[in-house]
Chains A and B, each alone.
Chain A
Amino acid sequence: GAVVSQHPSRVICKSGTSVKIECRSLDFQATTMFWYRQFPKQSLMLMATSNEGSKATYEQGVEKDKFLINHASLTLSTLTVTSAHPEDSSFYICSARALTSGYNEQFFGPGTRLTVL
């Protein structure tokens, strides 16, 4: 199946700093990528939908100026958490959409554990 990678796998940063997370589709091109956030023992919450070459679409309640998303190429999307605070500590998961057998399917990255001190 299609492979999605994320880097870094875990990051610890100080409050007030910015952190960039990369999401890559390794063996396919993804015009659409998704960013999710997962709190401990909870489900995945969609943060935003990232379309290559255009602005991301954010879900209600997600601050677009805090969570900057860039989808500069068909294989790379980045999420930058700006001026991070401890409440931003979470597990961030990206997903890339591919067309398989005529159907849209999403493939997930391994996630990035962010800890803000």
Chain B
Amino acid sequence: AQSVSQHNHHVILSEAASLELGCNYSYGGTVNLFWYVQYPGQHLQLLLKYFSGDPLVKGIKGFEAEFIKSKFSFNLRKPSVQWSDTAEYFCACYGNNRLAFGKGNQVVVIP
């Protein structure tokens, strides 16, 4: 079964700072990769996804992620965060007919 690891569970940064969240997966087959965001008190929303093609994927709200197959990674980035980006971010890997989630990154942006 596949697994997903996310590091630095708690991230605190100031507005306008750059954000990078690491995601590593382990799965031997073809993977589909996702980043989801969960704002306080709200449900999961899809930020971006990678199925195939260009490994640099652009999502909503200025987020992007890069799939690096050799590193089994799918890191999420945003050049300049806003206070409204305060949320929990989950990386997920689809394989074996199931979606496996990482433990998430709690991101707090200080105004």
Contact = CB atoms under 8 A, between A and B. Distances in A.
Interface of B is mostly: strand
Interface size class, chain B: 20 to 34
Nearest to A113: B41
Given A49-B98, A103-B32, A43 B43 contact: no
Contacts, number: 43
A106 B101 CA distance: 12
Interface in A81-112: 93, 95, 101, 103-106, 108-111
A117 to B, nearest CB: 21
Contacts of A111: 43-44
A74 B100 CA distance: 23
Given A42-B104, A43-B90, A106-B99, 13 more contacts: A1-B46, A32-B97, A34-B99, A42-B103, A44-B101, A103-B51, A104-B94, A105-B32, A105-B49, A108-B44, A109-B43, A110-B43, A111-B43
